Amino acid sequence: MVGLVLVSHSAKLAEGVAELATQMAGPDVRIGAAGGLDEPDGTLGTDATKVLGAIEDVWSADGVLVLMDLGSAVLSAELAVDLLDEDRRGRVLLTEAPLVEGAVAAAVAAGIGERLEVVAAAAHGGLTAKAAHLAPAAGAAEVDAAAAPAPGGSTDHETQPETLRVTVLNRLGLHARPAALLVRAASGFDADVTVADATSGCGPVSARSLNGVATLGARRGDDLVVTATGPQATEALAAIARLAEERFGEPEDLGPQEPEPAQAERVDGRAASSASDAPVPGPGTVLAGVPASPGAAVGPARRLGRGAVQIPDAPTGEPAAEWAALSAALEATAADVLRARASLAGRARARDAAIFDAHLLFLEDEALLAPTRTGVFDRGESAALAWRAAVAAAAQAWDALEDPYQRARAADLRSVGDQVLGHLLGEGPAISTAGPGVLIAPDLSPAQVVGLDRFAIAGVACAYGGPTSHAAILARALGLPAVVGAGAELLAVAEGTLLAVDGDAGTVTVEPAPDAVAAVDRRRQARDSEAAEARAAAGRPAVTRDGEIVRGEANVAGPGEAEAAVVAGADGVGLLRTEFLFLAAAAMPDEDEQAAAYGAVAAALQGRPLTIRTLDAGADKPLPYLPMPSEANPCLGVRGLRLGLARPEQLLCQLRAVLRVAAAHPVRVMFPMVATVDELRRARELVDEARAALATRGVAVPARLEVGIMVEVPSAALVAAKLAPLVDFFSVGTNDLTQYTLAAERGNAGVAALADPLHPAVLQLIDRTAQAAAAAGRGIGVCGEVAGDCLAVPLLLGLGVRELSMNPVVIPAVKQAVRATDAAAARRLAGEALAAESAAAVRELLAAAVPSGPATRRRAGD
Ligand code: PEP
Ligand code: MG
């Protein structure tokens, strides 16, 4: 870690700055204070030998950065470097950075393990954020809070600043979201607007800067003085006055106990509160969410970050090109944020989704852009280096806030900054954490879950999302205990706080008591030994007591999982979610790339059959290289096969790749989201076209390719008898079928209890499909999450299902459940379930039928 030396004429000043920087960056950073002369009377001055001693005290092979105050401090520091051993001299940098801001910025950068050059850049940028904040106020008259006239009190707006005094009424002060509204309002007028907190004496800052306004740290009751100059100064102040009266869009005394609108109701009946108003949950608090992936885990709370990225030493292009790259990265990040906002908007309250407004403002904040511009154009740095230093410097201002909630928003800024870096460096979404523990996040994209380090992450807790969201499915695939829909309070938990995640009960306990931690450990051990028994038998076929063979297959997202599936005892892959293969790609993979990827999965299966589902993008599975126009109801929009038919070239390309692999391996193809017979006919035509195109090129194709469809839209189940002659098999996608049958969005924690695949309405659709399949002599399987639920196994077998495709981790247990089932008894059970009136009644029937069966999972709300 880079060491720091602070050279000042005053020993007290050097020590004081060292103390401040240590508080900001943590005790691990090595900071040497070399202030004053070695005189008993405390004479002011600087001493080269003292500086030399300090450099040696904090020495590390990573180097040392020296910050100085003025005059002889610079000379003493230079002399000290001259006195150093030659081999060390090259690793010491003297910086002209301001002593206080520079030391704090440098300490933070050193603390996160940055290189010497990056630490120096951070120090250098320490002052620019402050300068950017203050610059717009330069032309304004001194803020005289006491004498501030009411808005409209001045008429000469060209020269005279107008001022307004408002009191912050928001319970949690002017935190990120209300501050974002103020910034939006101020930016809408042709006026230079500044804000100062007259109560605390902080500011003024530019009202166009979210970093500036929010890091004023204004609390409830504080008086703000808003000053405006320019043609629309009066209008700007009037708009801000209105906003302040309306508590910047927050209801009066919004508190955690206050009942929220219906949309916010969670399955446990408690009201969710937004991240922006959530208090930090105290020790022992149990946050109730929805079980998403079984198991229990304990560990410190961790947030996603980008970890140590390789920032190029030198810019790759001219400053203008660097700036253009940054602009493109900012735009791409804004698009990500808008997508996340749109996706959350359907699942949470508008206020929760508005958290993302603050993220958007970060992307256009001059407090970040100005220092980045200086770095790129004046210092010739790469855009990535300059941007990272600007974000680090701005985040320190948030870190320094007194209020713990407001302080925690530094994480938001860092995460947005990270997203920009990700685009700038051409990397995927942030997937690393600062250390091992329990990952907490608002929600996770499939790409983020797939990229998680299974050994570092013990469990996952999301504030939003439902148990069939793709994040939850992937968590199960990775065997990661997970809870979703735990509410916004989760996001207020500080990094490092001990959390216990119970993926069976769907709870997250904050700072659990030692006995609760021990209980989690015991459960983990018991589960491990049960699982070991099932694994020992997993390689054998699953045959019911009365001799019916049931295929236990795997849902996978790539060759690695296919290998794991074989180890878990899979009889094949019933669902390859091809969209996950290329989640991190910047462009649609071409035919060769796809053929290679599918070929790798087929090879990993060592001769077992592979069902490749064509791209099922859209709705909750956005692909970076397939930007979709925004839709009011994406789940009902252009997704799955609809998207493939709308872009036939892409589907044809995928079908050619599938056919090429099918020439050498037992492969079949499956179309997602089929709603009508016409769609299926058109898709079959495309299979023929793809075959013909390959034949023309002289590429080998299989004599016959089995074609199937996912039954996940109720219309498909209802016309299954018409579809059956056109397919070789049906695979029921109960995740979507449940969503569409019960009109309960699968990622929405608020309707998670409703979205139960064991509802008789869903079962009747499966039954109808199974009957159509049987009449036409076609195969039928289930590949939705319910196929991996041991409790449901007898019921599905009773309905006629003979292929169960699931997350590989549950294959051993499900095969055991098949072995415990009598097919004839299961048929009677299915008949009773079809006649039941609710999912709860079906579950009671099943529980009674399998009183001491293998581990069963119940869902919240049952
Ligand atoms: C389903 O809908 O049940 C299914 C298996 O498809 P996905 O979860 O990928 O939408
Ligand atoms: Mg589906």
pLDDT score for 78: 87
Q: Residue 615: nearest ligand to its CA?
A: 1
Is pLDDT larger for residue 245 or for residue 488? 245
Atom of ligand 1 nearest to the CA of 734: 3
DSSP 574-613: EEEEHHHHTTT-SS---HHHHHHHHHHHHHHTTT--EEEE
Atom of ligand 1 nearest to the CA of 640: 10
Tell me the average pLDDT across 770-782.
98
pLDDT interval class at 858 (50, 70, 90): very low
Q: Which residues contact 483 (CB under 8 A, 6 or more apart)?
A: 289, 290, 291, 292, 459, 460, 461, 462, 501, 502, 503, 506, 507, 508
Of 368, 357, 353, which Cα lies nearest the Cα of 420? 368
Q: Are 575 and 815 in contact (CB under 8 A)?
A: no
Cα 731 to averaged position of ligand 2 atoms, centre (Å): 10
Cα 653 to averaged position of ligand 2 atoms, centre (Å): 21
For residues 374 and 52, what is the distance between their CA atoms, to the nearest angstrom? 32
Is residue 614 pLDDT above 70, yes or no? Answer: yes
pLDDT score for 308: 57
Cβ atoms within 10 Å, residue 406: 22
Cα 762 to averaged position of ligand 1 atoms, centre (Å): 14
Is pLDDT larger for residue 633 or for residue 800? 800
- The residue type of 682 is R
User: CA distances (Å), 498 to each of 131, 406, 435, 464, 601, in order?
Assistant: 39, 21, 13, 20, 39
Q: Residue 733: nearest ligand to its CA?
A: 1
pLDDT score for 597: 94
Length of the chain: 862
Q: Which of 44-48, 105-109, 782-786 has the lowest mean pLDDT?
A: 105-109
Tell me the average pLDDT across 547-560.
93
User: CA distances (Å), 102 to each of 33, 109, 123, 818, in order?
Assistant: 14, 11, 4, 66
Is pLDDT larger for residue 662 or for residue 436? 662
611, 673, 710: residue to mutate for ligand 1 pocket, most atoms within 8 A of CB: 710
Question: 716: buried, middle or exposed (CB in 10 Å: 19+, 13-18, 0-12)?
Answer: buried
pLDDT score for 591: 96
Cα 559 to averaged position of ligand 2 atoms, centre (Å): 21
pLDDT score for 551: 97
Q: Which residues contact 100 (CB under 8 A, 6 or more apart)?
A: 17, 20
Is pLDDT larger for residue 410 or for residue 662? 662
The tokens for 485 are 């829909």
Q: Are 207 and 193 in contact (CB under 8 A)?
A: yes
pLDDT score for 550: 98
Q: Which residues contact 382 (CB under 8 A, 6 or more apart)?
A: 311, 312, 313, 314, 315, 316, 322, 376
Is residue 226 pLDDT above 50, yes or no? Answer: yes
**pLDDT tens by residue, 77-89:** 988 988 888 888 8
Instruction: Kindly state the greatest CA–CA separation across the chain.
Output: 102
Q: Are 668 and 730 in contact (CB under 8 A)?
A: no
Share of the chain above pLDDT 90, in %: 44
Is residue 709 pLDDT above 90, yes or no? Answer: yes
For residues 121 and 353, what is the distance between their CA atoms, to the nearest angstrom? 35
**pLDDT tens by residue, 25-50:** 778 899 999 998 877 777 788 888 99
Is residue 187 pLDDT above 90, yes or no? Answer: no
For residues 405 and 398, what is the distance between their CA atoms, to the nearest angstrom? 10
User: CA distances (Å), 4 to each of 85, 105, 118, 741, in order?
Assistant: 18, 11, 13, 63
Pocket-forming residues, ligand 1, beta carbon under 6 Å: 575, 577, 616, 712, 733-736, 783-784
Q: What's the pTM?
A: 0.51
Tell me the average pLDDT across 709-735.
98
Q: Which of 51-55, 83-87, 590-594, 814-818 has the lowest mean pLDDT?
A: 83-87
Of 773, 744, 776, which Cα lies nearest the Cα of 757? 744
Average pLDDT, the chain: 83
Helix axes 591-604, 559-568, angle to 10 degrees: 10
Q: Are 555 and 477 in contact (CB under 8 A)?
A: yes
**pLDDT tens by residue, 374-400:** 999 999 999 999 999 999 999 888 878
Half-sphere exposure of 387 (CA within 13 A, CB side): 31
pLDDT interval class at 593 (50, 70, 90): very high
User: CA distances (Å), 257 to each of 105, 177, 465, 751, in order?
Assistant: 39, 20, 22, 21
Which amino acid residue places its CA nearest to atom 3 of ligand 1? 733
Tell me the average pLDDT across 756-765.
96
**pLDDT tens by residue, 256-273:** 333 232 222 222 222 233
- The residue type of 318 is E
For residues 332 and 321, what is the distance between their CA atoms, to the nearest angstrom? 16
Tell me the average pLDDT across 113-135.
70
pLDDT score for 829: 97
Tell me the average pLDDT across 244-264.
52
Q: Which of 435-444, 502-511, 627-636 has the lowest mean pLDDT?
A: 627-636
β-strand partners of 780: 730
pLDDT score for 853: 37
pLDDT score for 749: 64
pLDDT interval class at 101 (50, 70, 90): confident
pLDDT score for 488: 80
Q: Which of 155-164, 317-326, 682-691, 784-793 has the lowest mean pLDDT?
A: 155-164
SS3 of 725-776: HHCCEEEECHHHHHHHHHCCCCCCHHHCCCCCCCCHHHHHHHHHHHHHHHHH
Active-site residue list: 470, 783
- The residue type of 85 is D
Strands 610-613 and 667-671: parallel
The tokens for 773 are 């399949």
User: CA distances (Å), 494 to each of 303, 392, 510, 784, in order?
Assistant: 9, 18, 10, 36
The tokens for 164 are 């307004």
616, 643, 782, 803: residue to mutate for ligand 1 pocket, most atoms within 8 A of CB: 616
Which amino acid residue places its CA nearest to atom 1 of ligand 1? 733
pLDDT interval class at 585 (50, 70, 90): low
pLDDT interval class at 128 (50, 70, 90): low
Tell me the average pLDDT across 576-598.
83
Q: Are 575 and 670 in contact (CB under 8 A)?
A: yes
pLDDT score for 144: 33
pLDDT interval class at 214 (50, 70, 90): confident
Q: Are 448 and 429 in contact (CB under 8 A)?
A: yes
Q: Is the peptide bond before 204 cis (omega within 30 degrees of 0)?
A: yes
Cα 50 to averaged position of ligand 1 atoms, centre (Å): 68
Is residue 145 pLDDT above 50, yes or no? Answer: no
Is residue 18 pLDDT above 50, yes or no? Answer: yes
Is residue 300 pLDDT above 90, yes or no? Answer: yes
Phi-psi region of 286 (alpha: psi -120 to 50; beta: other; left: phi over 0): beta
Atom of ligand 1 nearest to the CA of 468: 8
Task: Tell me the H-state helices in 31-175.
Answer: 48-57, 72-83, 86-89, 99-111, 116-124, 128-134
Is residue 142 pLDDT above 70, yes or no? Answer: no
Is residue 711 pLDDT above 60, yes or no? Answer: yes
pLDDT score for 174: 85
The residue with tokens 């796809």 is 594
Atom of ligand 1 nearest to the CA of 712: 2
Q: Which of 107-116, 178-187, 284-293, 425-434 has the lowest mean pLDDT?
A: 425-434
